[in-house]
Chain A
Amino acid sequence: MVWSWIPQNWTSIWQYTLDNLLLGLLPPIIGLIVSVPVGIACVLWGWLYPPVLSLSSAIYALPSLALFVVLIDYTGLGNLTVIIPLTLFSLCILIPAVVDGLRSVPESVRQAATAMGFTPVRRLVQVELPLAVPVIIAGLRIAVVSSISLASVGQLIGVPSLGYFLIDGFQRDFPTEIYLGIALIIALALICDVILVSVRRLLTPWLRGRQVSAGPIRVLPITAGRM
């Protein structure tokens, strides 16, 4: 470990960290925006869900590196080439999370809301979606952590991320860079994870003081860490 290397390269460390953060956060955010309406549609029209689920498990099985190089021909060597596959993976995690979250709302709650005069749309926005938040955020945590860690693979095709330090350290046989790269990727992922947990606490005050367990995991991508 050559500690002095770190302050000397502060600017590039900061830059690659920001690059990695962008590649790690944008896909789950786009994924969330898309998966909420898609998830609602899957709950409304039950027949839609099995094909969507099969498609997402199929996409989820594809190695990231293979997807990156497939896209090179269409989107070149820019950020998009990494963002598109990571967005697809995020969708594979988030759509089932939204569906599971909405389905976890007890029937009694739904009936109570209806009896209180909630229209279906208001009930969805003010009752069902807030109650689904813990499950949706559980999915979001997986999507964010795996996107941040996967973004480094994009460096193999030259898309900048913290993976730069892994590859550069390998080519120069300089372990300090590799340690730094791994440590920063894990740190970035854990910081974002902690932030998401706090967001969940803020959004679900009624769960405070109760032990929230992730519960048994029934949907394939939810359990998955991946590469």
Chain B
Amino acid sequence: MGFLNFAWDWLKSPAQWHGPDGIPVRVLQHLGYTALSVLIAAAIALPVGLLIGHYGRGGFTAVNIANIWRAIPTLGLLILLVVLIGFSAFTWLIPLVALGIPPILVNTYEGVSGVDPDLKDAARGMGMTQWQVLWKVELPLAVPLILLGLQVTAIFVVATATIAAYIGLGGLGRYIIDGLASNNYGEVAGGAAVIVVLALAVQVLFVGLRRLVVPAGLRQQARASK
């Protein structure tokens, strides 16, 4: 019958579109988990990344931690936490935030420390304070890489929130986990289709965001260098 047929049959049934288990509620839940985790991760990683990038210290450690971070199996971390402390908001929020920090941190660091030293000299020569150099020169120039870091974190969190359904989290992963448990492939296929659309929509959101917040000068430069 094929994946698309299964997905379509499940999606077109009106029952999926209402109530607490309906697709709209699950989509909102999934977006909510994602937004919350990315915001908390950014609130921690952005200032730290800006500071170590500005002062140029600790960057090596940050990049190395990010490498080890890739090896950590998130499914294992989620399961371990639920076995040790039981299921609560922290059980999923801690892994999502902790594992969402490295991409933002590393990219912010790389973005700020990669700013041309001549530009920083020029800024200081114009009489800017340390703070102004960071805020008015380094940060705007680092925006493209910082956005990329946020995007990677968002991708990561959307995917991990899906897996977290296995330990009892709501959101779109529920359809896959519940469908697998009850041998209902229609539900699995429909859920997967909605997740794919959501993941792509998040990507598109970041492409739009890049148009909005990347300084006009940098965009022209990027176009010229192509």
Contact = CB atoms under 8 A, between A and B. Distances in A.
Given A182-B77, A185-B71, A60 B107 contact: no
A73 B191 CA distance: 14
Interface in B174-221: 176-177, 180, 185, 188-189, 191-192, 195-196, 199-200, 202-203
B71 A190 contact: yes
B82 interface: yes
Contact of A182 (B76, B106, B195): B76
Given A156-B180, A170-B79, A217-B107, A149 B166 contact: no
Interface in A125-179: 141-142, 145-146, 148-149, 152-153, 155-157, 162-163, 166-167, 169-170, 173, 175, 178-179
A65 B155 CA distance: 13
Contact of A223 (B73, B75, B107): B107
Contacts of B80: 175, 178-179, 182
A220 B79 contact: no
Interface in B14-73: 63, 66-73
In this complex, the member of A58, A67, A152, A224 whose beta carbon has the largest number of chain B beta carbons within 10 angstroms is: A224
Contacts of B188: 69, 72
Contacts of A157: 180
A179 B69 CA distance: 17
A175 B75 CA distance: 14
B7 to A, nearest CB: 9
A225 B83 contact: no
Contacts of B66: 223, 225
Q: Is the interface of B mostly helix, strand, loop or mixed?
A: helix
Given A65-B176, A157-B180, A178-B80, A223 B70 contact: no
A100 interface: no
Question: Size range of the interface on B?
Answer: 35 or more
B75 A69 contact: no
B71 A63 contact: no
Question: Size range of the interface on A?
Answer: 35 or more
A155 B166 CA distance: 12
B189 A145 contact: no
A163 B195 contact: no
A167 B166 CA distance: 10
Contacts of A146: 70
A175 B83 contact: yes
Contact of B199 (A63, A175, A179, A224): A63
B149 to A, nearest CB: 7
Contacts of A64: 159
Contacts of A67: 192
Contacts of B83: 169-170, 173, 175, 178
In this complex, the member of B70, B76, B83, B192 whose beta carbon has the largest number of chain A beta carbons within 10 angstroms is: B76
A156 B71 contact: no
B71 A66 contact: no
Contact of A65 (B99, B107, B162): B162
B193 to A, nearest CB: 8
B91 interface: no
Contact of B69 (A58, A60, A63, A225): A225
A226 B159 contact: yes
Nearest to A181: B76
Contact of B70 (A149, A163, A178, A218): A149
5 contacts: A60-B155, A66-B192, A146-B70, A162-B73, A189-B71
Interface of A: 57-58, 60-67, 69-70, 72-74, 141-142, 145-146, 148-149, 152-153, 155-157, 162-163, 166-167, 169-170, 173, 175, 178-179, 181-182, 185-186, 189-190, 193, 214, 216-218, 220, 223-227
Interface of B: 1-3, 6, 63, 66-77, 79-80, 82-84, 99, 102-103, 106-107, 110-111, 114, 145, 148-149, 151-152, 155-156, 158-160, 162-163, 166-167, 173, 176-177, 180, 185, 188-189, 191-192, 195-196, 199-200, 202-203
